[in-house]
Amino acid sequence: MGSNRSVSSPVAKPACVYLLHFVDGSHYIGVTSIGVSNRLRRHLAGYGSTWVYRKALLVGPPEVGAVEWWPSMSSALNAERRHKRHRAKLYSKCEVCRRLKYGEGEQSVS
Ligand SMILES: [Zn+2]
C-alpha cells in the first residue's frame, strides 16, 4: 500500500515471489522473473525444483496460491527469505486455501 518504487539499477527486472498450493495441502515458495505460469511450466517439465516436480507427479500439478511482485530480483529474494521464515503468514494469503476454507460446503452436513 505504500510507495514502493526504488528504481536504483537500470537493469533491474521485476521479479515475483510465488506460492504454489498442492492438492494435499503442501506449499512451495519460489521466486521468478519470467512469470509464474512460465515458471510453473518449467517446474512441471523438470527444469526447476525436484521437490515440486516429484510432488506434481504424485498429487498432480499445483495451483498458484499467491503472487507478490517486487521491482527487482534482489528485493524478491529478500522477500522470499522473509516469507520462508514466517511461512504461516504467506500461507494465510493463499487463495486456494481460502477457497477451500470458505467455499467448501459439501462436508458440512449438519
Ligand atoms: Zn494453500
Residue 91, in any domain of the structure:
yes
Separation CA 20–CA 37 (nearest Å): 11
Give the chain's domain count. Answer: 1
Kindly list the distances between the CA atom of residue 58 and the CA atoms of 5, 17, 20, 39, 43, in Å, as whole numbers in the listed order: 41, 24, 15, 19, 14
Residue 69, in any domain of the structure:
yes
- From first to last of the 110 residues of the chain, give the pLDDT tens digit: 555 555 555 678 999 999 999 999 999 999 999 999 999 999 999 999 999 999 999 999 999 999 999 999 999 999 999 999 999 999 999 999 999 988 765 554 44
Residue 110, in any domain of the structure:
no
Distance 96 CA to ligand 1 centre (A): 5
CATH code at position 52:
3.40.1440
Range of the domain at 70: 15-99
Distance 9 CA to ligand 1 centre (A): 34
pTM: 0.82
Residue 37, in any domain of the structure:
yes
Sheet holding 27-32, edge to edge: 27-32, 15-21, 63-70
Distance 63 CA to ligand 1 centre (A): 8
Residue 60, in any domain of the structure:
yes
Distance 5 CA to ligand 1 centre (A): 29
